[in-house]
Structure 1
Amino acid sequence: MLGLPKGEVFLIPWTNEWVKEFTNESEKITSELGELILAVHHIGSTAVKNLSAKPIIDIAIELNDFQLGNHCVQGLERLGYEYKGTDILPERHYFSKGEPRTHQIHMFQTGNIYLKKQLAFRDYLLNDNEALDEYQTLKETLSRTHQTDKITYSHAKTDFINKIMEKLGLT
């Protein structure tokens, strides 16, 4: 199942279908954008086996130069994405797909600290079962208490994420 309606926060158990969906979408993006991009990464909770997640596939696209993101807009629109600009989240081009939203793209210049943090956090959870369990519990609690407030839900995870970033030297 994919798709999170506006104004709702809920989690579903991790499924291998998310890996397949990312792989299919990544192939479409790579075919459409070609040499404009350096890499396509699966990020967010759907990228972490055994972690419940909001049913949205988060994708990070790495660019050689941030301004190349402007040249990717038409190609991603052909794939059904809507360009939201660079003011939604820091230092990235942001795109979303579907209503309810099924995919979102965060497009970064290579070496960007936000991209590094996304990849490092994902990898940390993939390799530390204790942190994974703790994060799972936190997300479950927050999703129950903030079912209609995505912003509060997201902000309430910040302390946990920042502790991991501190451990990794990415503060």
Structure 2
Amino acid sequence: MDLQTTIIGMVLIALCVVPFIFVYNKKKEKQQLLIKQLKAQAITSGCNITRHDLWHNTVIGIDDNAKCLFFLRRTKDGEVQRQAHLAGVNKAYINGADNAIDKLELILVHNSSKEGDTVLEFYNSATLMQINTELQLVKKWQAIVEENLIK
């Protein structure tokens, strides 16, 4: 009787745990694919990602040597890809970091008025219900960009 109970218990535990493992592995695959796409975007531009961050369906990375920033976001409407050479950027600021955050963006202002500002959307309340680490990430990446503007 004890052996049967143990076997039934192990089977039930396995049935409960296996879906979580499956979901975790699928999430990791999607994340690795996003990072791979970002690195491919960088290689196309002759760059190599030295640092990156990943959240939801978004990844941002930088080549510190070439001073080039890459951004990739997947939405239900498609993909948003951005790239900015920091040599042509004058400053970076955060848009939307007030009390009621509906949108959180990192704006890169270019030296040339001909080239429009590069907008990198970190959070949008229309697509995500709750803000998590996006505020910390946008501040981190603003500091990284500013650090690369000084050098």
**TM-score normalized with structure 1 length:** 0.28
Q: Whose radius of gyration is greater, 1 or 2?
A: 2
Structure with the bigger RCO (C-alpha within 8 Å, sep 6+) is 1
Could you state the TM-score of these two structures normalised by the residue count of structure 2?
Answer: 0.31
